[in-house]
Amino acid sequence: MRGPRRLMKRYGQVYLVNDLTLSRELEILSPLPGEHILEIGAGHGEITGRILERGSEVTALELDPGLVGYLSAKLRDYEKSGRLRLINISFLDFDPGRFDAIIGNIPYYITSPIFFRLYDFDFSRAVLMVQREVAERAIAKPGSRNYSRFSVNCFVRYEVEKMLDVPSSHFRPEPSVDSSILLLKKKNILSAEELEQLDELLKRAFSQRRKILKNTVPEAPPEMLNRRPQELSPEDYLRIQFGFS
């Protein structure tokens, strides 16, 4: 059987291998006995096994069929007992459901789609490892360099807290960027249709960041028309789209 190091080279993914950071990530998740955890990208099972040892059940998604076979052999007893379910699928193709918590080390190239897809799931908390630049945009405040359409979309969907920065040396293969661990909790402020409507507004506003709203969002309240998109708060955008006060 091929070992995990050879399997890790496929699909452009990188995997967390530092034991201390793995332990910190697990503590942030804090899985409890009997909880059902969804894992996005099980890799070679370092987090998977630790969650199972805590007494939780795991549904583990893994795109690489070779790694699925490796995990099935490595965690055979858990799979036979029904506490581990391995599925060869991308998270973006997996049907939404109810889970106590979600965890994943997110591939850098599909971070935004995963953030938005995650909102379709019912969960109490999610722990995601993402590129550090993405984490900074997720928690950015109005007026800051990293504040963007993505920042507003994160704000209306989740409470987001950056828990830990992780250097690139903690991964194999080693990427060219550092990462961060985020803790997310759903807000459930808007419906799926309302989120789409808001994002259309954000697309218009942030497509021309240097222009004042008078040129891109002329329906904004008069006191906002001479401001640039990065100067408006998420609450301002909710007010423009829905009249929220």
Domain spans of the chain, in order of start? 4-188, 193-242
Which option is the CATH number for 193-242: 3.30.830.10, 1.10.8.100, 2.30.110.10, 3.40.190.10?
Answer: 1.10.8.100
**Bond from prior residue into 107 cis (ω within 30 degrees of 0):** no
Stretches in the chain below the pLDDT threshold 50: 1-9
Coarse DSSP helix, strand, coil percentages of the chain, rounded to the nearest 5 percent: 45, 20, 35
Domains 4-188 and 193-242 share a fold: no
Would you list the DSSP string of 147-192? --HHHHHHHHHEEEEEEEEE-GGGEES--SS-EEEEEEEE---S-H
Strand ordering across the sheet containing 125-131:
84-87, 57-61, 36-40, 101-105, 125-131, 179-186, 158-166
The CATH H-level superfamily of 4-188 is Vaccinia Virus protein VP39 (3.40.50.150)
128 strand-pairing partners? 104, 182
CB 40 within 8 A of CB 92: no
- Residue where the block lists tokens 């799979």: 79
- pTM of the full predicted structure? 0.92
CB 70 within 8 A of CB 2: yes
